């Protein structure tokens, strides 16, 4: 007899619920363990270790779901496990997590295990598709912040007390100097008159920086209070800036940046806190930002269902093709009011595209695990996503069925998409430049050049530098979102164009020299980016290095030497020490 089999088959559903709960607890323990050692990495300047931890934490969820599912398959061998059985499992699981301070995260883990085991899409009869309470359904018993009354206080003393709460095991560069700099900037800001300061007990770590995060309460107004902290080579720990404006902080928590490593006991409390000074952020985005991207996906799905329900009577709120030049690899659709786009890989790609659907999936997986440095859009991958047929325009549904019939099934009143990526909506850069006033167009071009350089610093060569593959966000930031041809900079061979030696070579319509599969000639970029004119001239003036193989080879050498380059998520002129 199998010793792992339950002694009472009638309680098999409870045993299955227990195994799922055990899998979740193992996942959450390992998640916490990774985040707890982020401080140690920061103190030791172990930046490669920090990045490796960030990648392993993303993979952790899938690993635990897969392992748990394997255990369940073994446990239930020879037993009928239909809807009724899984309904009892859900009830038993819900009873066990009723008072968890991470109940919502545990529900998402249950959903993932069920989907992995059953191979079906969202099933409201068995899964926690609709929330069982508010996302902040559990308020933690312990405080998540240190609180400071500010009336009549010397700001430097307050800053000293804040820093005392975070005793890094490494020397400071000049703590007294940093306190003076923070207090001086704070005193000159309108938030100087705030009544109260609340600082989160968790430090947020990402790449080579740590962030002390809090909020200022000024009557009914709430403002962020963020101290970016660095530990540069050859120096001690130092405060790099003081950020007091919402638009300064929103980018730090953006969907186009990597997730933070932060030791969080009650995620919903944390999300609630962050949302008070970043109200423009969706709850799903904030869960992503603090590392719970799978639950962020669950919350987004619920946001999508609410949107569809709220707009069901609006004839204009149908799925339509997204604006811009249609891509050869992806068909993209959206709705006018929804701030997201849906991207389906076409079944066949027109020449000259030579990638495969599997290659595209691998590129998206690379981006998910890579440092996005604020320049690559994060995405949710949905498998077997069901959407109401009535919400599709005729043109959109016809295009889906024509271009991706292997991934689209229309059954009754439902359109089932077997594989779809969902991303934030942006204005394609080529369309933006057509209508933008010259100062804003130049600003976008400057940021486009910065985006390419920052991607290079993160070891990403976009492949297609075409303007249509970059988008302009709501806050006018340029972000890359077309990943089918990205490569690691260290895998590319950047070359100068050879000088022709004969008239025949000079007049040849095709390259007369050998071109390897990974050879790239940056001097050719301007020819396909845009027509000659003032915008191309301006781009050359601002970022001419990106058209020079020497620039790319210098970056490549630094990356191969193991350097992790600094890319700051806030403006350089906000930094105290340049």
**What is the four-CA torsion angle of 286, 287, 291, 296, rounded to 10 degrees?**
-130
The CA distances from residue 489 to 53, 102, 540, 551, in Å, are: 22, 40, 21, 11
Catalytic one of 240, 378, 482, 484: 378
CA distance 108 to 128: 7
Give catalytic status of residue 464 as yes or no.
Answer: no
By the 8 A CB rule, do 533 and 505 touch?
Answer: no
By the 8 A CB rule, do 452 and 464 touch?
Answer: no
- Cα torsion angle, 324, 325, 329, 333, sign: positive
By the 8 A CB rule, do 216 and 244 touch?
Answer: yes
Measured at the CA of 473, the angle between CA 470 and CA 475, to 5 degrees, comes to 140
Structure tokens given for 279: 């109200």
Among the listed residues 473, 297, 443, the one whose alpha carbon sits nearest the alpha carbon of residue 374: 473
CA distance 541 to 36: 45
CA distance 411 to 430: 37
List of long-range contacts for 314-319, beta carbons under 8 Å, 24+ apart: 317/391, 318/391, 318/392, 318/393, 318/396, 319/387, 319/391, 319/392, 319/393, 319/396, 319/397
Packing angle of the helix pair 47-75, 103-118 (nearest 10 deg)? 60
Q: Exposed, middle or buried, 401 (CB in 10 Å: 0-12/13-18/19+)?
A: middle
Residue 575 CA to its chain's centroid (Å): 24
Q: HSE of 270 in the Cβ direction (CA atoms, 13 Å)?
A: 25
By the 8 A CB rule, do 28 and 254 touch?
Answer: no
Among the listed residues 139, 286, 146, 135, the one whose alpha carbon sits nearest the alpha carbon of residue 202: 146
Question: Phi/psi of residue 216, each to 5°?
Answer: -105, 130
Instruction: Please give the radius of gyration of the chain, using alpha carbons only, rounded to the nearest integer.
Output: 26
Structure tokens given for 195: 């009544």
CA distance 360 to 486: 10
Give the 3-state secondary structure of 50-84: HHHHHHHHHHHHHHHHHHHHHHHHHHCCCCCCCHH
Q: Which residue has the tokens 């005392």?
A: 164
Active site residues: 378
């Amino acid at each position: 007899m199998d010793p792992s089999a339950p002694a009472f088959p009638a309680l098999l559903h409870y045993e299955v619920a227990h195994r799922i709960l055990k899998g979740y607890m193992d996942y959450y323990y390992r998640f916490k363990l990774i985040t707890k050692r982020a401080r140690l990495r920061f103190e030791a300047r172990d930046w490669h270790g920090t990045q490796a931890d960030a990648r392993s934490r993303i993979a952790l969820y899938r690993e635990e779901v897969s392992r748990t599912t394997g255990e369940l398959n073994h446990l239930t061998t020879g037993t009928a496990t239909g809807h009724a059985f899984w309904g009892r499992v859900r009830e038993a699981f819900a009873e066990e997590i009723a008072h968890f301070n991470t109940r919502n995260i545990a529900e998402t883990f249950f959903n993932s295990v069920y989907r992995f085991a059953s191979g079906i899409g969202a099933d409201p009869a068995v899964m926690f598709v609709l929330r069982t309470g508010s996302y902040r359904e559990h308020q933690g018993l312990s405080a998540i912040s240190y609180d400071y009354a500010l009336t009549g206080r010397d700001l430097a003393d307050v800053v000293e007390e804040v820093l005392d709460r975070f005793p890094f095991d490494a020397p400071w560069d000049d703590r007294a100097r940093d306190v003076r700099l923070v207090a001086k900037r704070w005193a000159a800001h309108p938030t100087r008159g705030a009544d109260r300061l609340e600082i989160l007990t968790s430090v947020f770590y990402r790449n080579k920086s740590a962030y002390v995060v809090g909020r200022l309460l000024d009557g009914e107004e709430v403002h962020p209070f963020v101290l970016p902290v660095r530990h540069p080579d050859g120096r001690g720990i130092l405060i790099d800036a003081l950020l007091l404006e919402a638009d300064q902080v929103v980018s730090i928590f953006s969907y186009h940046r990597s997730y933070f490593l932060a030791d969080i006991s009650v995620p919903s409390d944390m999300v609630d806190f962050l949302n008070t000074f970043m109200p423009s952020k969706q709850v799903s985005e904030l869960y992503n930002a603090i590392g719970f991207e799978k639950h962020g996906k669950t919350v987004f799905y619920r946001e999508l269902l609410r949107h569809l329900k709220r707009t069901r009577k609006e004839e204009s709120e149908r799925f339509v093709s997204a604006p811009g030049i249609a891509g050869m690899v992806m068909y993209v659709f959206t709705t006018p009011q929804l701030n997201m786009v849906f991207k389906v890989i076409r079944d066949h790609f027109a020449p000259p595209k030579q990638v495969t659907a599997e290659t595209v999936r691998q590129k998206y997986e690379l981006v998910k695990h890579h440092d996005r440095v604020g320049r690559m859009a994060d995405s949710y991958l949905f498998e077997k996503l069901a959407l109401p047929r009535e919400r599709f325009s005729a043109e959109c549904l016809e295009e889906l069925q024509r271009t991706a019939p292997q991934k689209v099934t229309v059954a009754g009143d439902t359109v089932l998409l077997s594989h779809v990526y969902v991303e934030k909506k942006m204005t394609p850069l080529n369309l933006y430049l057509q209508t933008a006033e010259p100062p804003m167009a130049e600003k976008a071009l400057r940021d486009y050049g910065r985006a390419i350089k920052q991607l290079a610093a993160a070891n990403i060569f976009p492949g297609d530098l075409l303007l249509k593959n970059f988008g302009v966000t709501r806050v006018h930031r340029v972000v890359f979102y077309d990943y089918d041809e990205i490569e690691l900079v260290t895998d590319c061979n950047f070359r100068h164009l050879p000088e022709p030696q004969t008239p025949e070579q000079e007049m040849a319509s095709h390259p007369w020299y050998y071109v390897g599969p990974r050879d790239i000639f940056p001097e050719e970029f301007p020819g396909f980016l845009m027509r000659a004119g003032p915008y191309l001239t301006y781009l050359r003036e601002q970022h001419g290095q990106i058209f020079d193989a020497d620039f790319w080879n210098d970056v490549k050498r630094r990356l191969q030497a193991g350097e992790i380059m600094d890319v700051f998520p806030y403006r350089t002129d906000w930094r105290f020490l340049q």
